[in-house]
Amino acid sequence: MTGDTTTRTPPSGTVAATAPPGRRGRWGRFAVVAAVAGPGLVAANAGNDAAGIATYATAGSQYTYGTLFFMLLVTVALVMVQEMAVRLGAHTGKGLGALIREQFSLRLTAVALFCLLLANTGLVVSEFAGIGAAFELLGVPKWAVIPPAALLLWALVLFGSYRWAERIFLLMSLVFFAYPVAMILGRPHWGQVGSHLVLPHVQPDKAFILLGVALIGTTVSPYMQFYAAAGVVDRGAKPEDYRLIRADAILGALFACVISMTIIVATASAIGGSGPLASAAQAAEALKPVAGQGAELLFAFGLIGASALAGAVVPLSASYAIGEAAGVERSVSRSFRDAPLFLGLFTAQIALGAAVAMTPVDVIKLLIGTQVLQGLISPVVLVYLLILTNRRSVLGAAANGPRYRIAAGAVVVAVAAMSTILLVQTVLGWFGLG
């Protein structure tokens, strides 16, 4: 194996140290959940950010329940992708950026990092734009909210340990329970929800394919794989902790996708069939006629928490990747003096995102656009991930088996096919042939 576990410096203990010795009862079950929850849950939930909420809400308003079966397939893809990412981190003691640098040429490493930075730049802006849009729903101007929000997120990472930051991220994830409540208050047609979950619904038009790519981009985001693997390493996990790490990744992916489906259903029940959203706040406002002020506030509350979570995780993923590729110190548990490149990149991304979000940008176009861009870039990152997890020289006996290789390969091909179709349709449209 290429990963040398003796070089690790766990900042605050390993996952195994937190695992409960088979306790039973309510507190025992809570301890199990607390032990399992970690980078996988944080990374997957960060995908339900402002851009994700806008994309899922647009799916509900434009095609009602028509994208639910597609989201079921995307859920399977996310589970497999996140599991591969954390397996790399647990068994090699290295993040995805470091492994790409070791296993591929300098040029191919640069391609991977460029794709990640390109996708993340618009995302960081969209997170702060989402925070501003949510508070504007509550009557607070964005200029009064975005600067202090940026400062708080920056301080959270700069002055805390990884374990402390992770706990804050997990607490932020609790806001996602607002969406199932909003869905129930929206009184959806459960029969139609069930049928669209099990029966495929595909429309061969550019708008549907564009939305499909955006759904892939926001659900299987490139930064999530980089953060999940790096978070496992920063947490100090070892190969013997893989069972809990794997459970965290799978449960996190499932939870995040269930939340995304509730956003689709909630919006579909309120304004399904009305077309694409015209503003970032429209999804929350649409619930008011059918579910009252409470549902609108729940939707806005979820948007604030989700954007804050991703506002920290997205720039961290890029900082981890570049720090790993450069071979320098990278950890939330380190000081600015110990990890200047890692924390400097994080600071620059936070500052840039907050500054651009303060300008009069078209928020909804920015949010959807960043997800389409991520959908186009996802296949590139997934190819690297698949090759690394297939190599026994990297993972040894933990490498993908024959069946897993086929299944994971099919996921990458499917995502690449959707992206290619969108790219071809876009190019044809430039020449009036689309």
- Please, where are the H alpha helices in 6-105? 25-36, 39-46, 50-63, 68-92, 96-103
Structure token pair of residue 375: 């959908």
Instruction: With H, G, I as helix, E, B as strand and everything else as coil, classify residue 379.
Output: helix
Work out the number of other CB atoms within 10 angstroms of the CB of residue 365.
11
Are the beta carbons of 250 and 40 closer than 8 angstroms?
yes
For the chain, the straight-line distance linking the first and the last C-alpha, in angstroms and rounded, comes to 49
Give dist(CA 61, CA 277) in Å, integer.
Answer: 7
Burial (CB count within 10 angstroms: exposed 0-12, middle 13-18, buried 19+), residue 320: buried
Q: What pLDDT, on the 0 to 100 scale, is given for residue 4?
A: 41
Dihedral angle computed from the Cα positions of residues 391, 395, 398 and 401, in that order, rounded to the nearest 10 degrees: 0
Q: What pLDDT, on the 0 to 100 scale, is given for residue 68?
A: 93
Give the type of residue at 348. A
Q: What pLDDT, on the 0 to 100 scale, is given for residue 298?
A: 66
Phi, psi of 205 (to 5 degrees): -120, 160
Helix, strand, coil shares of the chain, percent, nearest 5, are 80, 0, 20
Q: Model's pTM, two decimal places?
A: 0.78
Closest CA to 53 of 230, 179, 182: 179
Structure token pair of residue 426: 């876009």
Give dist(CA 15, CA 100) in Å, integer.
Answer: 25
Are the beta carbons of 340 and 330 closer than 8 angstroms?
no
- Domains in the chain (CATH in brackets) are 25-374 (1.20.1740.10)
Q: What pLDDT, on the 0 to 100 scale, is given for residue 163?
A: 66
Structure token pair of residue 220: 């299987």
Mean pLDDT by 10 residues, the chain (434 residues): 39 41 44 52 72 82 90 92 92 90 89 82 81 79 89 81 67 71 82 89 78 82 85 83 88 90 87 69 58 62 76 84 82 78 89 86 66 77 92 92 92 83 67 62
Instruction: Return the DSSP state at 17.
Output: G
Closest CA to 179 of 116, 311, 270, 72: 270
Give dist(CA 378, CA 220) in Å, integer.
Answer: 7
Instruction: With H, G, I as helix, E, B as strand and everything else as coil, classify residue 359.
Output: coil
Structure token pair of residue 320: 């981890």
Structure token pair of residue 185: 């208050």
> What number of helices (H) and strands (E) belong to the chain?
20, 0
Give the type of residue at 390. N
Instruction: Return the DSSP state at 397.
Output: G
Place of tokens 């609790």: 174
Give dist(CA 167, CA 288) in Å, integer.
Answer: 33
Cβ-based neighbours of 196, under 8 Å, separated by 6 or more? 65, 66, 68, 69
Instruction: Return the DSSP state at 335.
Output: -
Q: What pLDDT, on the 0 to 100 scale, is given for residue 386?
A: 94
Q: What pLDDT, on the 0 to 100 scale, is given for residue 290?
A: 52
Place of tokens 């003691």: 93
Structure token pair of residue 96: 């995805």
Are the beta carbons of 179 and 60 closer than 8 angstroms?
no
